[in-house]
Structure 1
Amino acid sequence: MNTLDISRTLSELEKIKGEYVRNRMVFIDGARVVELLKGLGATDADLEQLKSVSDHLGVDPTLPFRESKNCRFVYDGEQRRIERGEFQPFVLSAEEDFVRHDSGQIRKFDEVENDLQLNTAFQQLLRINEFMARGVDIEQRPGMDYDSPHWVCTLFHLRTVTTPELVGEPALEGVHSDGVDHTMTTLLGTRNMTEDSAVTYLHDMRQENAVAWDKADPDLVVGSCQHRHFLDTMLVVDHERKHSLSPVRALDPQQRSTRDMLVFFTRKPAMEGHVSYPYDSLGRHVGLPMSVDYLDHEAGSRHD
C-alpha cells in the first residue's frame, strides 16, 4: 500500500468531510469514490465483485418488493478499530421519525456474509463511513449515549425490485428519518431502471413524516440527488434532515427492474429505555469475525 496514496486520499476525504459539516449532507460521485477506495487499498477485483454481490440476498422480512441482508459493526473508539458485531434483531419506531406499517416491529434479517464483509472495497467504505462521522457536532437524538467512545453501524444490503405486478419503493414510508446520527447510502448497481427513478429528496425537519415524496411541501425541500452510477454515495446528518425517495420504474415494463444499495445507519449506542436498547449488543460476532482499523491506523484488516 502506497503511503503517498493514502496521504492524498485522506486529504481528499478531509475536504469532503468539510463539505459534509457545512451542508449537513454531501453527495460523492461514484468515480471519485472509486479513486478514494483504490487510494486506501481496495483492489480492482474486489471493486468489480461488488457489482454482482447483490445477486445473493435473502427474502426481506416485511417488504415483498425487496431482497435484503443486514449486520452490525461496532466502531470502537478506544481501540480505534471497526469490529463485526454479533447478530441482533432490528427495530425502528415512529418516535424516531419512521412511520410505516412495520414501525416498532422486531425484524430479523438474513446476515451479511464474507462475500461482502471481506471485500477490500467494502472495508474501505466502512472506514470512510467511520471517518466521516468522527468528531462531527450534530443534533443529538434522545436515548443515545453520547458519552460513549463507541458507535454502532447497522449495515443494510438491499435490492429494490419492480416487476409488472409490483412497484419497488426504496422508501415506502415516505418522508422519514432513519433513527440514527448519520446515514450513508451507496449504489452498487441498477438493471432496467428509468433515468428518473429513485431520486432522493431532502426535507427540513418541519416536514410531516409519512408524506409521499411527491406530496411533500416544496417549500420544505432543501435538496435532492440521485444515485445513478456505481458507488455514487450520499451522507446526511439524519436528525437534521429528513428524506424521501421516488419509486423504481422499469425501462422495459415487461421486465424486472432492480436497484442495489448499501445503507449505513451509524449512531451512538442506545441507553436503557430506548426501543433499540435490548438489541444493541457491542459484542463481537463469533461465527463471522471481521476487523479493520480506523483510517489513521494502517494495520490492515483481520478476519481471524
Structure 2
Amino acid sequence: MLDVKRKIHPLLSEHRATIDRQRWTFVPAAETREILAGLAVSQAAMDEIGVLSDLLRSDPTLPFRAASNGRFCTDFGTRQAYRTEDQLFVLTAEEDFHRFDSGQLRVFDPLEARLCANAAFQGLLTINAFILATLKPRHRPLLDYTSDQWITTVFDLRTITTPELIGEPALEGVHSDGVDLSMTTFLSRNNMRRDSGITDVHEMAQVNGVRWDEIDPQYRVGTAQHWETLDILIVVDHEKKHSVSPLWAEDPTQRATRDVLTFFSRKPTVEGHVSYDHDSRLPHESLPCQVDVSIVRDPWCT
C-alpha cells in the first residue's frame, strides 16, 4: 500500500477541470511523474512499470496483441480500491464497440501480481479514483448511477508489428469502450515509428467503425500521442469517441511493440446488462490488491 503521507498535485486538479470542460485531457509523462511523486511514488517504481509487460502472452482474439486484465472496485463508501475476482469480459456493438469479436465472452490472463504491487500502478489507480470522485458522465443504460462504487477493468496490452503483420491498437476504428471513463497510460515502445499510435478524439456524431485514416475532420476535437512512459490520455467515454493509428516499425525488418495500460471505469451493472453476470465485487482471494483512496475525498481536492 502507498505511503499515507501523500498529496494531490495541483496539476491533477487542473486536468480534472479540463475534463469537466472538454471531456478529455492528455497528461504528459513529465506531469504524471510530478503527480505520482506527490503520491509518494518513487522514481524507481515509475521506471519499473515501463518494463513489466514482457511476460504477457497471447490475446484471446487478436493475433497481433498480447494481453492480460484484472477487475478493480473503487468504493467511495469505504474509501478503498481493491482487486476483485477474475471474470469474463464482453463488449457489444450497443456499447459503441464494433469489431468481429463484439459480444463475445473473452477470457484474458490475469494481471501480474508484480504489476499490481508496483507503487506507480497503485498511484495510477489513485489518479483514476480522483477523476471518478467528481465525474458526472452522460448515463449509459443499465448502470447503477446511485452506487458509491465504480468498476474498473485494467488491461495490460502489448501491440505487436512484425514483417508479416501490422499491429492495430484499435482495429475497430472509431469507437467507445462501453464505459464512463477511459484512461490509457503508456508504458514502453520498441522500434516504434514516430507516426504510430496517434489517437484522435471525436465528437459522438462521428460514425463508429470508421478507419483512423477515413474519419470526418469536422468531428475531430483533438489529437494526442502516447510516446513517453506514463503519458496518459483520459476520455469521458460516452461523450467522446476515439480512434488510433497502427503501429509502424521504424525498422520494418524487425519486430515492433507498443505497451499500454488501459483503465476502463463504469458504474456497476444492473440486471439486463450484458455484463451483469460477470460483475462480481468479491475480492480476489489469491491475488489481493488494495489501495487507500481516501485522499481523493479531501475537501480541498473537490
Written as runs of structure 1 = structure 2, the 5 A alignment for 1:24-173 is 24-173=23-172
Q: Unpaired runs of 5+ in structure 1?
A: 299-304
Secondary structure (helix, strand or coil) at the match of 1:115 reads: helix
Tell me the distance in 1 between the aligned counterparts of 2:188 and 2:294: 26
C-alpha offsets along residues 139-195 of structure 1, whole Å, 9 cap, x if unaligned? 110111001111000000000000000000000000000000000000001010111
1:302 aligns to what?
A: none
CA deviations over 1:262-304 (Å, ceiling 9, x no partner) = 0000000011101011100111000101101115179xxxxxx
Task: Please state whether the residue corresponding to 1:36 is helix, strand or coil.
Answer: helix
SS of residue paired to 2:30 = helix
Question: Tell me, what secondary structure is at the counterpart of 1:139?
Answer: coil
Per-residue deviation at 1:11? 3.1
RMSD: 1.4
Q: Aligned to 2:134, what secondary structure does the other structure show?
A: coil
For 1:209, the equivalent position in structure 2 comes to 208
Aligned 8 A contact 1:92 1:179 in 2: yes
Deviation at 1:30, TM superposition (A): 0.3
The alpha carbon displacement at 1:114 in A equals 1.3
What one-letter code is carried by the residue in structure 2 that aligns with 1:179? G
- After TM superposition, give the deviation of residue 13 of structure 1 in Å: 1.8
The one-letter code sitting in structure 1 at the alignment partner of 2:222 is: G
Contact 1:190–1:259 (CA under 8 A) maintained in structure 2: yes
Alpha carbons 1:131, 1:295 under 8 Å: kept: no
Residue number in structure 2 paired with 1:185: 184
Structure-2 separation of matches of 1:221 and 1:58: 34
**2:249 matched to which residue of 1?**
250
Query: Is contact 1:159–1:259 with CA below 8 Å preserved after alignment?
Result: yes
Aligned to 1:225: 224
Residue pairs, 1:289-300, within 5 angstroms:
289-296=288-295
The amino acid of 2:208's aligned partner reads N
Find the residue that maps to 1:35 and give its secondary structure.
helix
Q: Distance in 2 between matches of 1:249 and 1:73?
A: 32
Equivalent pairs counted in the alignment come to 295
2-side partners of 1:17 and 1:219: how far apart?
Answer: 25
Unaligned runs of 5+ in 2: 298-302
Correspondence 1:277 to 2:276? yes
